[in-house]
Structure 1
């Protein structure tokens, strides 16, 4: 893989790090808000990518993950489309894995119109003792005003995670979408066993139905539900008691809002912090640290700016992104992971994220004093649609073109 040779600008915009950041030759600067001193390396090596499983190719992959406590296998989510089912493919965690060693965990009908399809998978935290797997997908909506319906469903495995029983599906949450884009779709459990769901603003452009600032809709928000608790009235899940609107004033599922289209987010496995990539409208892409009850400003603001301008947002009610970049550097952010592996000691505690359009992969961190440091970047040439993290903390890249890659130090 070649390295970035052009100089570009990236801005760190949080109150703690209100500075400009340069992505230079093979390097960038940035920041995070963790207080963990281990998240402050002094020297990040130059990085590159290697093909992780050279013999395997996938059909429109959008995610990769491992099951809790099982580092022997990988699961890859294939989006589906044009009468092709969405699938979860399982294969051994071996660089020499061959197509004959792959199998289907499940194959389900989806509507992959626009930005739909099979978009996310989450294993129950106690899997396989609790043999449940949750899928996030879209099906055809009820009418022309709602072309897609987002579905979060629970499936059961009867064989230790080799397959899921399609007849075991229980729909947990459904939501009709007014347009075919901005479906979000990623799902994941936090360290306390609560299921987080990221949904976009419902689509089209410029949020025409004003969902981002409407706390009475589930669109444009991060949701948090309890799939193990006693279901609330009229629901198939419990509401965590400390959700911002659990007692009223808004949709009780909402954890945070003011988001345009959260595309890939993750929990730092050491700190529990939630890092999120929110896709911009036409000017700014942003990385957010998600806080309970936080309003991230869409649509009055895009990134840390008033929508459609370079003027600072300046609204105390909104939480600025921790970092942003202009569309000269890409057009669609892909959130990633905080590195917690051992293969690249100089990368420990650094956040990795990328752009789907440009293929650039950046790093983001801060020093012990809060000042940004020069960090590395990769010009991948890939359609960076997602990242994956192994149980041992290494970070992988999912290429929508069908291949999987691992971030490694430049030899």
Structure 2
């Protein structure tokens, strides 16, 4: 079964993340959204002020690009291997990249395990990797991949759509030079967990280990609300699904009897049964722990991709915390206003801005609206040595200000900013002057705590146009530079 041409046109325009769209039926303290005060008074421009350049201004120096690199979306380090960044490529490879000269090598390829990807704008694929804290001795790493449901075609409009699959891999001689080691095959892996995904989008997929003493052996996993739009049944879907399924009741994100729309936690050496650590997320695509080995707090930060209006950053994630979706989008309440699409967005809208209300929901520490971007890309609290002015600051990105041209951003959070939102977007500043003329897909952190921006020129999983750039104060020599 294939999507219609009209559906394919919608799907193509969405690019990489669907990330912008749609609607919802939900409860607000026992009353439906349509019954809530001012529920019919849409706010067309929730945050009128724009994002300004911050006092800290940095540059991006290209480390490596193209030459097989397609859609890099996450970067991390392997304990015991300083000087290398391991980069997830959505189409399948895990790259080891020398952080001094940019030389790279595939250490494994998940491509044969994946559902067939649509080049123009798929959210499935190879989405996450984490190395066990004892990798030096046990050689263990973990991946998150979008794999077929046996016996199905795995096209974007299929429902249910695919299996989010957590795999364990064992690397022989883990401290061998990653630029020359033989590539691992799927036979080197073991499936630990699968989660049935109802639609192709909103997949989360971040993997990372905790960094505080009480969770340093615990693996965190982020999951989206299952896809389609507004976390509700019967919504029209961007890939031609209709009606969308598997979002019963208050929606997956608000339900605690499934694993969608959550941050999960597990000890992968003890059990493959994760606990729900926090919930109420739409699509926490990237998340991280603030590195205690470099002076951080061990607290978890994530960016949660918004619906029609608001992108958000959630800080110091609380165990058992409810982060609002689908009751709220950012600090604003959300009205689904039906189940139809209007162009590339739903007919839903935000209405009342109610920080702190309902009282059992946790609001973001920073947010911005879709005048500024379309999909927040979670990053890291900077704990490196090379940029002391940035130390302790959360750095994140946005995919682009639209789906047809690469205008991604790199930003940072200042929590005590008190700007009037009519004049300027509070708490969020550009770290690199304005847009960078690429689609931002992810952020990476090396063993030393230095950060890298992962991007490409197409916005999707097509062509060898990936770019890995290091965040620097000033580019050196004649290096390719964005500033």
Shift in CA distance, 172/54, structure 1 to aligned 2, threshold 3 Å: closer
RMSD of the TM alignment (CA)?
2.6
Q: Deviations over 1:3-41 (max 9, x none)?
A: xxxxxxxxxxxxxxxx998632x32xxxxxxxxxxxxxx
1:174 counterpart = 2:194: yes
Residue 472 of structure 2 corresponds to 408
Q: Secondary structure of the residue that 2:285 maps to in structure 1?
A: strand
Residue 9 of structure 1 corresponds to none
Deviates more, 1:351-360 or 1:53-62: 53-62
5+ unaligned residues in a row in structure 2: which ranges?
1-46, 153-157, 176-180, 233-246, 335-348, 402-407, 419-425, 458-465, 476-483
Deviation at 1:376, TM superposition (A): 4.7
Flag the structure with higher strand content. 1
Deviates more, 1:281-290 or 1:70-79: 70-79
How many equivalent pairs are there? 349
TM-score (structure 2 length as normaliser): 0.68
Q: Tell me how far apart the structure 1 counterparts of residues 428 and 186 of structure 2 sit (CA, whole Å).
A: 49
Residue 323 of structure 1 corresponds to 366
Within the candidate set 266, 275, 281, 2:307 is matched to 281
Within the candidate set 70, 93, 112, 2:99 is matched to 93
Shift in CA distance, 278/166, structure 1 to aligned 2, threshold 3 Å: same
Q: Secondary structure of the residue that 2:358 maps to in structure 1?
A: coil
**Is the CA contact 1:54–1:95 (under 8 Å) kept in the aligned structure 2?**
no
TM-score (structure 1 length as normaliser): 0.79
Q: Tell me how far apart the structure 2 counterparts of residues 373 and 141 of structure 1 sit (CA, whole Å).
A: 42
Deviation at 1:408, TM superposition (A): 1.5
Deviation at 1:392, TM superposition (A): 1.1
Counterparts in 2 of 1:8-407, with a 5 A limit? 23-24=51-52, 26-27=53-54, 44-53=55-64, 58-80=69-91, 86-95=92-101, 97=103, 102-109=105-112, 110-111=114-115, 112=117, 114-142=122-150, 143=152, 144-160=158-174, 162=181, 163-191=183-211, 192-208=216-232, 209=247, 210-229=251-270, 231=271, 236-237=272-273, 253-269=275-291, 270-289=296-315, 290-307=317-334, 308-313=349-354, 314-358=357-401, 359-366=408-415, 376-378=430-432, 379-401=435-457, 402-407=466-471
Q: Tell me how far apart the structure 2 counterparts of residues 315 and 367 of structure 1 sit (CA, whole Å).
A: 22
Deviation at 1:375, TM superposition (A): 5.3
Deviation at 1:91, TM superposition (A): 3.3
Deviation at 1:377, TM superposition (A): 2.7
5+ unaligned residues in a row in structure 1: which ranges?
1-18, 28-43, 81-85, 240-252
**Is the CA contact 2:443–2:451 (under 8 Å) kept in the aligned structure 1?**
yes
Residue 242 of structure 1 corresponds to none
Deviation at 1:165, TM superposition (A): 4.8
Shift in CA distance, 351/203, structure 1 to aligned 2, threshold 3 Å: same
**Is the CA contact 2:204–2:224 (under 8 Å) kept in the aligned structure 1?**
yes
Q: Secondary structure of the residue that 1:281 maps to in structure 2?
A: coil
Q: Secondary structure of the residue that 1:52 maps to in structure 2?
A: strand
Deviation at 1:343, TM superposition (A): 1.4
**Is the CA contact 2:93–2:106 (under 8 Å) kept in the aligned structure 1?**
no
